[in-house]
Amino acid sequence: MKYLIVILSLLGVTIYGQTNNGEQLPLHLKEMSYNEYLGFVKKYHPLVKNANLEISKAQANLMMARGGFDPKLELDYNKKQFQGTEYYSILNSSFKIPTWYGIDIKAGFEDNEGYYLNPQNKTPANGLASLGISVPIGQGLLINQRMADLQKAKIQVKLSQAEQKLQAIAVLYDASVAYFNWKKNYEENLLYESYTVNAQKRYEGIEILIKQGDKPAIDSIEAGIVVKNRLLALEDSKLKLSKAKLELSNFLWIENNIPLELAEAIVPEKSLGKTIQETLNINDLNQEFSLASHPKIEALQSKIDLLTVEKKLKGNMLLPKIDLGYSYLAQPNPNIPNNSDNYKVGIDFYFPLFLRKERGSLKLAQYKIQESEFTRDLEKVQLTNKINAQKIEIQSLSKQQKLISKLVMDYETMLKSEERLFNLGESSLFLINTRENSLVSARLSQIALENRFYTSNSELYKIMANPN
Q: How many whole angstroms separate alpha carbon 371 and alpha carbon 359? A: 19
Q: Is 128 helix (H, G, I), strand (E, B) or coil?
A: strand
Residue type, 228: K
* Strand runs labelled E in 71-162: 72-82, 85-98, 104-113, 128-136
Q: Is 342 helix (H, G, I), strand (E, B) or coil?
A: coil
In our burial notation (b when 16+ CB lie closer than 10 A, e otherwise), range 354-371 reads eeeebeebbeebeebbee
Q: How many CB atoms lie within 10 A of CB 372?
A: 18
Q: Is 157 helix (H, G, I), strand (E, B) or coil?
A: helix
Give a three-class secondary structure readout of 3-61.
CEEECHHHHCCCCECECCCCCECCCCCEEECHHHHHHHHHHHCHHHHHHHHHHHHHHHH
Q: How many whole angstroms separate alpha carbon 454 and alpha carbon 448? A: 10
Residue ranges per structural domain of the chain: 4-64+148-303+371-464, 72-146+322-353
Q: How many whole angstroms separate alpha carbon 99 and alpha carbon 71? A: 9
Q: How many whole angstroms separate alpha carbon 300 and alpha carbon 380? A: 10
Taking only the tens place, the pLDDT of each residue in 289-319 is: 778 889 999 999 999 999 999 999 999 888 8
In our burial notation (b when 16+ CB lie closer than 10 A, e otherwise), range 186-207 reads bbbbebbeebbebbeebbeebb
Please say whether the dihedral angle defined by the alpha carbons of residues 423, 426, 430 and 435, taken in this order, is positive or negative. negative
For position 332, what pLDDT does the model report?
Answer: 78
CA distances from 166 to 37, 54, 234, 467 (A): 19, 12, 39, 8
164 near 54, Cβ under 8 Å? yes
Alpha helical stretches, state H, 336-355: none
Straight-line distance from the first to the last Cα atom of the chain, in angstroms, rounded to the nearest whole number? 33
Q: Is 329 helix (H, G, I), strand (E, B) or coil?
A: strand
For position 212, what pLDDT does the model report?
Answer: 84
Please give the model's pTM, rounded to 2 decimal places. 0.81
Q: How many whole angstroms separate alpha carbon 365 and alpha carbon 374? A: 14
Q: How many whole angstroms separate alpha carbon 411 and alpha carbon 253? A: 43
161 near 346, Cβ under 8 Å? no
Q: How many CB atoms lie within 10 A of CB 123?
A: 19
Largest CA distance in the chain: 136
For position 419, what pLDDT does the model report?
Answer: 86
459 near 280, Cβ under 8 Å? no
- Give ∠ CA 326-332-334 in degrees, rounded to 5: 125
In our burial notation (b when 16+ CB lie closer than 10 A, e otherwise), range 125-151 reads eebbbbebebbbebbbbebbebbbbbb
Mark the ranges of the chain whose per-residue pLDDT is less than 50.
1-25, 27
Taking only the tens place, the pLDDT of each residue in 136-188 is: 988 888 888 889 999 999 999 999 999 999 999 999 999 999 999 999 999 99
- Give ∠ CA 302-303-305 in degrees, rounded to 5: 60
Q: How many whole angstroms separate alpha carbon 450 and alpha carbon 456? A: 10
Q: How many whole angstroms separate alpha carbon 373 and alpha carbon 367? A: 10
- How far from chain centre, in Å, is Cα 56? 14
Class of the domain covering 4-64+148-303+371-464? mainly alpha
For position 88, what pLDDT does the model report?
Answer: 87
For position 309, what pLDDT does the model report?
Answer: 94
* Strand runs labelled E in 242-282: 253-254, 258-262, 266-268
Strand partners, 97: 105
Give which of 146, 131, 120 is closest to 94, Cα–Cα.
131
